[in-house]
Amino acid sequence: MTQRLHAIAESPRFKNNLQKWTGSVKNFILGLGIAVIVAGVCYIIIAPLVGIISRAFMSPSDVINPLVFLFPLAPTLYNLRTAFDLMGYNTVLLNTLAFAVGMAVLHALVCSFVGYGFARFKFPGSNVLFGLVIVSIVVPIQSYMIPMFLNFRFFLGSPDLNLLGTIWPILLLTATGVGIRSGLYIYIFRQFFRGIPKELEEAAFIDGAGPMGTYLRIMLPNAVPACVTVFLFALVWHYNDTYYTSMLMTGNNMMASALSSLGFSYAGWRSLMELPVNPILTQMVVFGGVLLAIAPVMIIYLFLQRFFVEGLERSGIVG
Amino acid sequence: MNAAPRKRRKGLTLRGREIASGYFFIFPWLVGITFFFLLNVGRAARFSVNRVHVIAGYGLTQDFIGLQNFYNIFRVHGTFMREMFTSVGEMLINVPLIIFFSLFMAIILNRQFMGRGLVRAIFFLPVIMASAAIANTIEMSMGMIMGGSSSIPPDMEGAGGGFNAAAIIMLLGSLGMPPQISGYITTAIANLHEVIRSSGVQILIFLAALQSIPSSMYEVAQIEGATSYETFWKITIPMVSPLIITNVVYTVIDTYANAAVVETAHLTYIREMNIGASAAMSISSALLVCLVLFSICWAISRFIFYRD
């Protein structure tokens, strides 16, 4: 009996099956562990948003009803519609998206250009200058806001050239690589370009491409994941920014500023209609506004996500 | 006729051409950094050694007072010094946590599993919601889902309980763990929410880095018989290492931008209209953070693998 068992245990077929079985158990446990971690982290991230979404669809009777938790009994679109009207959503969204997308594209172009210069060429002072890139992101804008403001109020020292309130200050800052977190993008591109094998460039160089041609035809197409990353970050940060826009572009209605003043405009509208102003109702409208503000960026992100996958594999280089 | 200019171009050595193209590529940034950054930071630095008066309608006048502003913020101001060092200390605690967490999450998100698109979308949410306008409303909403007055019936209040850090520290202490380490662990757990919320950008950067590793490398390693543990340490880590330093830089900057010191400097300007002291505060804290950042980068850069 034991001999037969031994024979079975020693047989290659049994060993093979055992290996397969332990392998699949291992995979299952690993998958379970990952699922638990991912679900937990996702919960921490979405929890506040769930509160916002549920409140945005509640009617006033749901809010005061202590039995209602997360799921409204009488769901309503009133909050969303009010936020939509009060923010002037259509115009604000068009303005903001046009501005943010334009700036993000400019950021990706300029910063990849500069980042390539820092990544591949050794010139006198390159290390010091690159240190300056980092310093330029560390020093917060708040600390040199006043000189910056005066700089654009009296542009080039002339008292008549007032660029404040136009798109020019932020456009100039972005085009010269010192806009909102530009230094970070330069850094990202530099690191990416340094990770691309040098053989690619050498091949291009031997085939007669100049530095500009190499950058445009070889490096930029290979940096698609980096470009998408930078584009997304720049888009979101321009979309959400209130500091630069309120300082340098006052008077232009942007999504983030419309959102931050939504509570006041709702309260103002209520008192104008001689209705009682209620902070809880105001809050619900603000939540509707938050949903409206987040939605476009989220959609763009979902659309761009697949471009992350296009990497170096496409270029066909091995080693 | 044509030969002369061509000869001159040939006269530029390979090294000379490299220098020229280097400056050509960074030229736009060079303009920007000089006119919009260095010039303005220089003016702000001048504010810090002056007493600044605002003249309504036109501009500023300055009286030179030497290092008086720096003396005031360090020796007279009640909280500035402590705030500055607390901010930097918190930064030093949070940076490694955020880096490890985001690398870990990026590796998980890079795997093939069901609903990956959805999970990646969720991980991007903190990046979108990091704006000041949204952050305020979120704080309000947190109270609701985590136990606001309307969400929990009065009988159940207190049943949820909080995280009892003291008990854990005592437990770990009686197991023989030094209090510094157990303190770090409990701080990390208490900060978990903060860490997750502030690592969205880092996860995306790591994800892009993981995506750009050629799959042929893994194939070669597999054929040569490397285990997945070896593959991780010999391929994944070296290939993402340049972006570890990027993420350290970003994390430090992001933590500093939201730190109490920056807020204090800003409030000193807004509330007290003390532009000189505000400039002195920003300059001294930025100097300290730069110092910390450069020493971290220098320490890490020795472990980084570049392909050139």
pLDDT in tens, A19-46: 888 888 888 898 888 889 888 888 888 8
Average pLDDT over residues B97-120: 85
pLDDT at position A317 is 39
Average pLDDT over residues B104-123: 83
Average pLDDT over residues B51-56: 78
User: What residues of chain B lie within 8 A of the CB of A172, using their CB?
Assistant: 32, 36
User: Is there a contact between B245 and A192 if contact means CB atoms under 8 Å apart?
Assistant: no
- Residue A263's pLDDT band, with cuts at 50, 70 and 90, is confident
User: What residues of chain B lie within 8 A of the CB of A260, using their CB?
Assistant: 132-133, 136
* Per-domain residue ranges of chain B: 44-92+199-308
Chain A nearest C-alpha distance from B301 (Å): 12
Mutate to test the interface with A, among B37, B46, B305 (most CBs of A within 10 A): B37
Q: Is a pLDDT exceeding 90 seen at residue A102? A: yes
User: What residues of chain A lie within 8 A of the CB of B121, using their CB?
Assistant: 298, 301-302, 305
The ipTM value here is 0.79
Average pLDDT over residues A86-98: 91
DSSP letter, residue B61: E
Q: Is a pLDDT exceeding 50 seen at residue B152? A: no
Nearest chain B alpha carbon to A62: B150
pLDDT at position A312 is 38
Question: Which residues between 110 and 169 in chain A have a beta carbon less than 8 angstroms from any beta carbon of chain B?
Answer: 110, 113-114, 116-118, 120-124, 126, 129, 131-140, 142-144, 146-148, 150-151
pLDDT at position A232 is 87
What CATH number belongs to A88-260?
1.10.3720.10
* Per-domain residue ranges of chain A: 2-56, 88-260
pLDDT in tens, B255-293: 888 888 888 888 888 788 788 888 888 888 888 988 998
- B275 to chain A, any CB pair closer than 8 A? The answer is yes
Nearest beta carbon to residue A42 from set B40, B119, B145: B119
Averaged pLDDT score across all residues of chain A: 84
Between A112 and A1, where is the model more confident? A112
Nearest beta carbon to residue A148 from set B40, B262, B294: B40
pLDDT in tens, B196-226: 888 888 988 888 788 778 788 888 998 999 8
Average pLDDT over residues A291-311: 77
Q: Is a pLDDT exceeding 50 seen at residue A135? A: yes
Average pLDDT over residues A291-314: 72
Chain A nearest C-alpha distance from B1 (Å): 24
Q: What token pair was written down for A68?
A: 């209602």
pLDDT at position B67 is 83
pLDDT at position A68 is 79
pLDDT at position A75 is 86
Percent of chain A clearing pLDDT 70 (strictly above) = 95
Averaged pLDDT score across all residues of chain B: 79
User: What residues of chain B lie within 8 A of the CB of A242, using their CB?
Assistant: 131-133
Nearest chain B alpha carbon to A170: B36
User: Is there a contact between B137 and A286 if contact means CB atoms under 8 Å apart?
Assistant: yes
Task: Please name the amino acid found at residue A273.
Answer: M
- Cα dist from A87 to A23, A81, A273, whole Å: 57, 10, 17
Q: Please check whether residue B203 is in contact with residue B123, taking contact to mean a CB–CB distance below 8 angstroms.
A: yes
Mutate to test the interface with A, among B18, B24, B36, B102 (most CBs of A within 10 A): B36
- B53 to chain A, any CB pair closer than 8 A? The answer is no
User: What residues of chain B lie within 8 A of the CB of A305, using their CB?
Assistant: 117, 120-121
Question: Among the ranges A82-96, B73-87, B176-190, B268-282, which has the highest mean pLDDT value?
Answer: A82-96
pLDDT in tens, A174-211: 999 898 889 989 988 888 888 788 888 888 888 888 88
- A41 to chain B, any CB pair closer than 8 A? The answer is yes
Mutate to test the interface with A, among B108, B145, B263 (most CBs of A within 10 A): B145
Between B102 and A249, where is the model more confident? B102
How far is A216 from A201, CA to CA, in rounded Å? 11
Nearest chain B alpha carbon to A279: B140
Percent of chain A clearing pLDDT 90 (strictly above) = 15
Mutate to test the interface with A, among B9, B12, B24, B25 (most CBs of A within 10 A): B25
Q: Is a pLDDT exceeding 50 seen at residue B1? A: no
pLDDT at position A308 is 58
User: Which residue from B286, B283, B229, B284 is spatially nearest to B256, judged by alpha carbons?
Assistant: B286
Chain B nearest C-alpha distance from A117 (Å): 5
pLDDT at position B62 is 79
Q: Is a pLDDT exceeding 50 seen at residue A313? A: no
User: Which residue from B41, B44, B192 is spatially nearest to B105, judged by alpha carbons?
Assistant: B192
User: What residues of chain B lie within 8 A of the CB of A134, using their CB?
Assistant: 249, 290, 293-294, 297
Helix (H, G, I), strand (E, B) or coil at B160: coil
Nearest chain B alpha carbon to A287: B137
- Residue A111's pLDDT band, with cuts at 50, 70 and 90, is very high
pLDDT at position B138 is 61
- Residue B157's pLDDT band, with cuts at 50, 70 and 90, is very low
Average pLDDT over residues A131-158: 83
Average pLDDT over residues B107-124: 82
